[in-house]
Amino acid sequence: MSEPILTIRKLSAAFTRGAASPVAVTEDYLARIGALDSKVGAYLTVMRDEALAAAKAAEARYRAGTPRSPVDGAPLAIKDVFCTRGVRTTCGSKILETFVPPYDATIVERLRAAGAIILGKTNMDEFAMGSSTEHSAFQLTRNPWDLTRVPGGSSGGSAAAVAGGLAAGAFGTDTGGSVRQPAAFCGVVGLKPTYGRVSRYGLIAFASSLDHVAPLALDVVDSALLLAATAGHDPLDATSVPAPVPDYVAGLAGDVKGLKVGVPDEYFGAGLDPEIERAVRAAIDVLRDLGAAIERVSLPTTEYGVATYYIVAPAEASSNLARYDGVKYGLRVAGGKDLVDMVSRTRAAGFGAEVKRRIMLGTYALSTGYYDAYYGQAQKVRTLVRREFEAAFARVDLLAAPTTPGVAFRHGEKADPLAMYMNDVYTIPASMTGLPAISIPCGFNASGLPIGLQLIGRALDEPTLLRAAHAYEQATPWRERRPELT
């Protein structure tokens, strides 16, 4: 097998020069998946025939000198939360085990139109509810840096695929941190764009006001390329933002001189692993050395973020998941005494424990007598969080913080639901405010596990976010270190 860890930017340049062929590269990735994915468990479905057919078409375009985009021929992995026409889409759940969508999600359609090759569908926490991918109904995914540890979640399959050289890039979804956290755990770049920047059409809904489509990549340039290929207004998603899409790659040029970077005190409190604190503070020093002005800021409502999120997200989920009723698609448990009995038995058999917990929690928070105390209060706290960020961004251009309070943990280590939820403490605020945020590698702990630096920007200001991330990345050696999978 040839050298697998190549960025999309390098692959595309090699295709253009004729130094590499999309078919041969796709065959290499498929061979690596065949040889190594039994260890990693990143993929639920490998789309061999479709991928090879797409690679042949890409190859013909490069030969003719007419590639469609900078991601033409790039072999990608797609989280199994995105509908793919004619290809099983499970959302990590038994209830959708046999579901074959009759249409493509907008991002899948845009990636295909850009010439990208879809290698397959990746494992995830069921309905994207989780932070370890252990809530998949089908298989465990292992972290390529240490196979005894989780890749993070819920987009753990996509992050592990990129880290393990089983895809050149990937897409996941980030609702409370589900792309940034696995990116941090797997030592790759995870970019959550502004809410509405990328269409959610065809993304199986978890919490609609929080769900973001988000790319995972080996470096910041590739993140910009994947965002560029998918961003922009979509009339099929009413929450899609109609703002023009800037040139994200051109925006990477330039430095961070004079950029004001805020460091929120509350992101460095109790519960933060000291090794992560050291790495993140060192990363902030690098930004200062590059010319950024560092300023302390305060976001006092941070400590209420997890509690707020675990009302809002389950409430929305309880409504979104009402559609799984054993009638239109997916599993049906037959033999119920009437319709309601059939629906209740189907849902009991089809959903896993975490999904049931969140449906119950959300239904409770929305039910008569509890609505104001829980859902109503959480929505108001969401306003307080938003105001704090607005006040901070009146003073600074970016915020810098850790992505996660700890490094990748072992399988089974966080059996208590609340302990698992606390993993999202630093990623939830940017989800609730819809602000763009990125996790980039900023070092390793003493055991060689990756650490993520999180940068958060102003709404629709992905250019500044990406430019700062790129400047930091270019000044540091972290992206050169890759896990060894054999």
Partner 1 sequence: MISRQDVEHVARLSRLALSEAEAERMREQLSGILAYIDKLRALDTAGVEPTSHAVPLVNVMREDEPWPCLGQDEALASAPDRRDAYFRVPRIIED
Q: Which of residues 366-395 bind partner 1 (CB under 8 A)?
A: 367, 373-374, 376-384, 386
CB of 365 to partner 1, least distance (A): 8
CA–CA separation, 426 vs 454, rounded Å?
9
Query: Which of 219, 185, 239 lies closest to 434 in space, CA to CA?
Result: 239
8, 68, 170, 202, 437 from 223: Cα distances, Å: 9, 18, 9, 21, 12
Binding of partner 1 by 327 (CB under 8 A): yes
- Does residue 178 have an active-site annotation? yes
- Residues 209-238 close enough to bind partner 1 by CB under 8 A: 209-210, 235, 238
CA–CA separation, 60 vs 115, rounded Å?
11
- Give the residue, chosen from 1, 19, 339, 391, that forms a contact with partner 1 under the rule CB under 8 A: 339
CB of 150 to partner 1, least distance (A): 20
* Size of the residue set binding partner 1 (CB under 8 A): 75
Annotated active-site residue in 79, 121, 192, 414: 79
Query: Which of 213, 226, 230, 205 lies closest to 323 in space, CA to CA?
Result: 205
CA–CA separation, 421 vs 156, rounded Å?
16
Is it true that the peptide bond before 154 is cis, omega within 30 degrees of 0?
yes
Binding of partner 1 by 415 (CB under 8 A): no
Binding of partner 1 by 330 (CB under 8 A): yes
Question: What percentage of the chain's residues is helix, strand, coil (to nearest 5)?
Answer: 45, 15, 40
**Of 66 and 367, CB closest to partner 1:** 367
**Of 111 and 365, CB closest to partner 1:** 365
- Core vs surface per residue 124-148: b (16+ CB within 10 A) or e: bbbbbbbbbbbbbbbebbbbbbbbe
**Of 35 and 322, CB closest to partner 1:** 322
Binding of partner 1 by 359 (CB under 8 A): yes
Contact letters (x/-) for partner 1, 248-267, by CB under 8 A? --------------------
Under 8 Å between Cβ of 122 and 80: yes
Annotated active-site residue in 21, 93, 178, 223: 178
Six-digit token pair at 379? 């929505």
- Residues 92-151 close enough to bind partner 1 by CB under 8 A: 98-103
Stretch of 48-56, 109-117, 148-156, 352-360 contacting partner 1, by CB under 8 A: 352-360
- Does residue 79 have an active-site annotation? yes
Contacts of 231 (CB under 8 A, 6+ apart): 193, 197, 198, 245, 248
Binding of partner 1 by 356 (CB under 8 A): yes
Helix (H, G, I), strand (E, B) or coil at 22: helix
- Residues 291-320 close enough to bind partner 1 by CB under 8 A: 301, 304, 306-308, 310-311, 318
Annotated active-site residue in 93, 154, 199, 223: 154
- Give the residue, chosen from 194, 199, 230, 423, that forms a contact with partner 1 under the rule CB under 8 A: 194
Stretch of 33-41, 72-80, 194-202, 215-223 contacting partner 1, by CB under 8 A: 194-202
Binding of partner 1 by 363 (CB under 8 A): yes
- Residues 418-447 close enough to bind partner 1 by CB under 8 A: 418, 421, 432-435
Binding of partner 1 by 329 (CB under 8 A): yes
Q: What does DSSP assign to residue 315?
A: H
Q: Give the number of other CB atoms < 10 A from CB of residue 312.
A: 25
**Of 106 and 141, CB closest to partner 1:** 106
Q: Give the number of other CB atoms < 10 A from CB of residue 211.
A: 25
- Does residue 69 have an active-site annotation? no
**Among all residues, which ones are annotated catalytic?**
79, 154, 178
